[in-house]
Amino acid sequence: MRHPKEIVLKDGTEVLIRPLASADELPLRRFYSGIAEEDRWYMRFDVMDPTVIHGWVEDQKEVFSMLALCAGEIVAHARLHTHHYGCYHHQGRLRIIVDPRYRQKRLGSWMLLDLIHLAMEKGLREVRADFVVGVEQAAIESAYKLDFFKKALLEDFVIDPQGQLHDLLIMTKRLHKDWGDF
């Protein structure tokens, strides 16, 4: 996969996609400080904690990050979480977050495709993404469009900031050795 990659969004905005580099630590912290609590809550990591961002920047052995930048500013962050050992080592887990100003312009889909490509290059057999039903509906729609399938639905499994329980949808996509299925 060649990076940096230039893409043009639905509205003509030009965006650059490239892997995270060590100089991105502060800009990535700035990016997350602009993301609303209601989006951050479901991310499983406290991205307002500088040690979390530091960990992702410093050590990319298990967590690989891609950034999208517009005029030098980070506008999306996508992660592929992997395991070197054990029963999950064939599988990667995906997570994407797009700056609200850049949503619904296909940036999330571009990032998702990039992570799938990265997972294929790493020889993974499957990618997985977990979504909170009714909250992460946009992400569920874009996953269906890229041939992710429902693996399981865990009822009343995650909790929102108000204490309300929601279902968790686990979706997976099988990977093949070439790009034939795209």
Ligand X SMILES: CC(C)(COP(=O)(O)OP(=O)(O)OC[C@H]1O[C@@H](n2cnc3c(N)ncnc32)[C@H](O)[C@@H]1OP(=O)(O)O)[C@@H](O)C(=O)NCCC(=O)NCCS
Q: Which residues would be at the binding site for ligand X (CB under 6 A)?
A: 39, 94-98, 103-109, 129, 136-139, 141-142, 145
How many other C-beta atoms can be found within 10 angstroms of the C-beta atom of residue 3?
12
Minimum CB distance to ligand X, residue 112 (Å) = 7
Question: Which CB sits closer to ligand X, 105 or 166?
Answer: 105
Question: CB under 8 Å to 115, separation ≥6 — which residues?
Answer: 66, 78, 79, 80, 92, 94, 96, 127
Minimum CB distance to ligand X, residue 72 (Å) = 19
The secondary structure of residue 154, as a DSSP letter, is E
Instruction: Output the DSSP codes for 44-97.
Output: SS-TTSHHHHHHHHH--SSEEEEEEEETTEEEEEEEEE--SSSTTTTEEEEEEE
Question: Which CB sits closer to ligand X, 23 or 39?
Answer: 39
Question: Which CB sits closer to ligand X, 43 or 83?
Answer: 43
Minimum CB distance to ligand X, residue 182 (Å) = 15
- Per-residue tokens: 76: 């999306």
Phi, psi torsion values for 78, nearest 5 degrees: -125, 140
Question: Which CB sits closer to ligand X, 114 or 136?
Answer: 136
Residue with smallest beta-carbon separation from ligand X: 108
Minimum CB distance to ligand X, residue 44 (Å) = 10
